[in-house]
Structure 1
Amino acid sequence: MQTKAQKRSILLSTEIIAILLIYTWIAETEAKVPALIVFGDSTVDAGNNNVLPTTLKANFPPYGRDFMGTRKPTGRFSNGRVATDFYSEMYGLRSFVPAYLDPEYGIEDFALGVCFASAGTGIDPETAGVLSVIPLFKQVKLFEEYQARLEGYLGPEMAKKTISEGVYAVSIGTNDFIENYFAYSTPRFLEFTPERYVQFLINLGREFIVQIYMLGARKIGFTGLSGMGCLPLERNRNPMWGRPCIETYNKAARDFNSKLQQMTDELCNALPDLQLKVAHLYDFFANILQNPSLYGFEDAQYGCCGTGTYELGYLCNEYTPFTCTDASKYVFWDAVHPTEKTSRIVAEYLMNTTFSKFK
């Protein structure tokens, strides 16, 4: 059995290796990646929801309290940065990816990276309607607008190079199940079995990939779903039973990931020069939850904010009692979203396994 000193030594060695890997990734990819372009939901939203007439926002404390030393609530659903911010830094671009609708930034900022993601959205357009956020097809429209602005800023040739050689990070799908299908009162639940709804989402996802491919995207990393049944919001629905993960939700995530990989293989065979990769997250994140101490965490069941059971968005605010003082001890920041530390660990893993593999 390992002693505490041995465990600390292992953790320290792991952190040193991770730092060395980051510098290796930067050295290898700096000249190859002109920009990072982000589509998705709250896992990667950098603040686009701030300007929307929706209740799902995170532009107030304690969100952002650890954001790059500024304590700025940017609209990210985190105490700090999200995974795509770390991708950008690892690519040698900048330390964060700005939100396209954030008035503080312009095309000179977006030329190196831009985020179109919107918290609460999904692959299914009906999911975005639940909380009045940006559906995926409108994110594509913003991408088209961005291309026109980029061409005006860089010129046609450089803009085309940025679009074709940039890396695209897509993180979406969880809300389709949590907000939409498994809400049970929605039309989708009455219309589809879980298996058919997964296929419905995959078909829509295929259409999205083809759309951005036709607009010039070639290097696309689509992050698979993690065990959404293990989110604090879901686990704490059954406190009397020891707060187990909800297997129905996790099975849907695994089915989605399997079909996503099949769709990826089919599209790569059908579309010339397409480099579409699935960033497999399910097993890695499950290991974090099962062995949190190996990653330097003390709590993997509750979020840092409030009681850590249901707080999210406006329920996680500066007046919420019981919010933890050190988010780095927690896997989750609120009842759904990871802490900055978790996002960094996930980003390092996915960069090593997926996002550093584009040619």
Structure 2
Amino acid sequence: MAYNIYTPWGCFLIQILILFAKSSAKVPAVIVFGDSSVDSGNNNQIPTIARSNFQPYGRDFLGGVATGRFSNGRISPDFISEAFGLKPTIPAYLDPMYDISDFATGVCFASAGTGYDNATSDVLNVIPLWKEVEYYKDYQTKLRAYAGSKKANEILREALYLISIGTNDFLENYYALLERRMQFTPQQYQDFLVGLAQNFIKELHSLGARKISLTGLPPMGCLPLERTNNILEDNGCMEGYNILALEFNGKLKTLVSKMNKELPGLQLVSANAYDIFLHIIRKPSVYGFEVTEQGCCGTGRFEMGSLCDLYNRFTCTDANKYVFWDSFHPSQKTSQIISNHLVKNYLAKFL
């Protein structure tokens, strides 16, 4: 099976990549921008309800700590960092437990609930993408003071930049609120977001970034929360949302090709997580999963964030049987499978 990398052979290949990375790593750091799919705890430090720094989140993390990751354990950037021979977890930039010595080999600026559109970050009062860039500029200043300008510039140039964002723009903003729907058709909103993505990547490039991975939308119509809302179709996937995600991802892929031609030295990769994620959802038993329609936490149909807490007696005992951890986010096991796939098929060129 082409996508089944969660097998002894698939895991062996990833281990070979990890060993190769450790022996001749070309990436000195992993730098992360985005939303809850990659936020390792920045939202813990801001006044928002979009948090997950409480149990049972993190119950399978190292030491059973709820770090602010929207998962029972590690998330994709953590696994990607490890695959590149770096540390097994990427710290959040706003976490006071860490300093520039920790951030020098990997740092996360992502904020759960944010999007390309500034209006999306306003919904839950989280960090907008422009502010993530401001934190990155601050990080550059600290890194140069810590490592010296020459070494810092080398780290910034050779680092792998991971971008995972966009789902909230549609599900939390466009389809949940009226303002953007009154201004744009779905296709026009896609084009609006692609324009914002282009500006964001241009700015990162102007700040020295060269190796960038851009992940588009997941099959968001199959998220348990969307299935719960799809009562008229027996709680099946909302295929209209999946079609929209494919359309948007196609436009991002076109953008990637365009920007690689226009920006000197840029190595921008369209890291397609949609196909592997959908395959896991459609064929869960191939990967050792038993449940895909609902998450592990609570009933798994609508709970996430504060609704997914330690007192919810319906939470499952083994998250490894579940594709999703809560109604919106993948389990640690799913994140590992997807990350392995991305490293093997899209990011290996940077090893």
Q: TM-score range by the shorter chain?
A: over 0.9
Which of these residues, 254, 270, 279, is aligned with residue 246 of structure 2? 254
* Alignment pair present for 1:273 and 2:265: yes
* Alignment pair present for 1:82 and 2:75: yes
CA-CA distance at 1:14 after TM superposition: 4.9
CA 1:222 to 1:158, structure 2 compared with 1: closer, same or farther past 3 Å?
same
Which of these residues, 106, 109, 112, is aligned with residue 113 of structure 1? 106
**CA deviation string 1:39-76 (max 9, x = no partner):** 000000000000110001000000000002x1100000
Secondary structure of 1:331's counterpart equals: strand
Secondary structure of 2:79's counterpart equals: helix
**Worse overlay, 283-292 or 21-30:** 21-30
Which residue of structure 1 lines up, in the alignment, with residue 161 of structure 2? 168
Distance 2:35 2:314 in 1: 27
* Alignment pair present for 1:244 and 2:236: yes
Q: What TM-score do you get using the length of structure 2 for normalisation?
A: 0.96
**CA deviation string 1:70-129 (max 9, x = no partner):** 110000000000000000111110010000000000000000000000000001111000
Secondary structure of 2:349's counterpart equals: coil
**CA deviation string 1:271-309 (max 9, x = no partner):** 111000111111211111110000000001100000100
* Alignment pair present for 1:357 and 2:322: no
Q: Which amino acid aligns with 1:129?
A: D
Distance 1:102 1:28 in 2: 31
Gaps of 5+ in 2: none
CA-CA distance at 1:240 after TM superposition: 5.5
Which residue of structure 1 lines up, in the alignment, with residue 200 of structure 2? 208
* Alignment pair present for 1:96 and 2:89: yes
Which of these residues, 37, 42, 61, is aligned with residue 55 of structure 2? 61
Q: How does 1:195-344 map to 2 (within 5 A)?
A: 195-239=187-231, 241-344=233-336
CA 1:315 to 1:14, structure 2 compared with 1: closer, same or farther past 3 Å?
closer
Matched positions, count: 347
Secondary structure of 1:277's counterpart equals: strand
**Is this contact kept in 1: 2:230–2:238, CA < 8 A?**
no
Which residue of structure 1 lines up, in the alignment, with residue 122 of structure 2? 129
**Is this contact kept in 2: 1:43–1:171, CA < 8 A?**
yes
Which residue of structure 1 lines up, in the alignment, with residue 64 of structure 2? 71
Distance 1:247 1:234 in 2: 10
**Is this contact kept in 2: 1:65–1:73, CA < 8 A?**
yes
Structure of greater relative contact order (alpha carbons < 8 Å, 6+ residues apart):
2
Secondary structure of 2:7's counterpart equals: helix
Which residue of structure 1 lines up, in the alignment, with residue 33 of structure 2? 39
**Is this contact kept in 2: 1:29–1:356, CA < 8 A?**
no
Which residue of structure 2 lines up, in the alignment, with residue 19 of structure 1? 11
**Worse overlay, 26-35 or 74-83:** 26-35
**Is this contact kept in 2: 1:164–1:216, CA < 8 A?**
yes
Which residue of structure 2 lines up, in the alignment, with residue 4 of structure 1? none
**Worse overlay, 75-84 or 349-358:** 349-358
CA-CA distance at 1:187 after TM superposition: 1.0
Q: What TM-score do you get using the length of structure 1 for normalisation?
A: 0.94
**Is this contact kept in 2: 1:275–1:358, CA < 8 A?**
no
Distance 1:131 1:321 in 2: 27
**Is this contact kept in 1: 2:219–2:274, CA < 8 A?**
yes
**Is this contact kept in 2: 1:86–1:96, CA < 8 A?**
yes
Distance 2:283 2:7 in 1: 16
Distance 1:16 1:285 in 2: 19
Q: Which amino acid aligns with 2:272?
A: H
Which residue of structure 2 lines up, in the alignment, with residue 3 of structure 1? none
Report sequence identity in percent: 52
Distance 1:326 1:60 in 2: 18
Distance 2:241 2:230 in 1: 14
Secondary structure of 1:212's counterpart equals: helix
Distance 2:178 2:6 in 1: 45
**Is this contact kept in 1: 2:34–2:111, CA < 8 A?**
yes
Q: Which amino acid aligns with 1:40?
A: G
Q: Which amino acid aligns with 2:50?
A: L
Gaps of 5+ in 1: 1-6
**Is this contact kept in 2: 1:123–1:173, CA < 8 A?**
yes
